[in-house]
């Protein structure tokens, strides 16, 4: 395994599934429910989902960047 392949493998294995789990958890919520604070988090469901989706997109961007690098 080349260093590039190893780096990509590590990035992919640390991706996590927080965004997926939040999407599944909040799937049946109305727009009004998405605006309400969720539990003791101090954040709305939408803020939680947005944060996880932003993190997921940034992680995917790092994977995409690594894949474009020369060996």
Band of pLDDT at residue 9, cut at 50, 70 and 90: very high
- Per the prediction, the chain carries an average pLDDT of 97
SS3 per residue for the chain: CCHHHHHHHHHHHCCCCHHHHHHHHHCCCCHHHHCCECCCCCCEHHHHHHHHHHHHHHHHHHHHHHHHCCC
Percent above pLDDT 90 for the chain: 99
In the prediction, which pLDDT does 48 show?
A: 98
Kindly state the tokens that stand for 42. Answer: 């101090």
Q: What is the pLDDT of residues 11-42, one digit of tens each?
A: 999 999 999 999 999 999 999 999 999 999 99
Q: C-alpha dihedral over 14, 19, 24, 28, to 10 degrees?
A: 170
Which among 58, 34, 61, 59 is positioned nearest to 48, based on CA atoms? Answer: 34
């Amino acid at each position: 395994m080349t260093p590039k392949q190893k780096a990509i493998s590590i990035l992919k294995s640390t991706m996590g599934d927080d965004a997926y789990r939040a999407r599944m958890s909040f799937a049946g919520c109305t727009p009004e429910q998405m605006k309400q604070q969720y539990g003791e988090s101090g954040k709305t469901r939408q803020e939680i989902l947005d944060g996880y989706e932003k993190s997921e997109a940034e992680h995917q961007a790092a994977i995409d960047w690594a894949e474009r690098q020369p060996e």
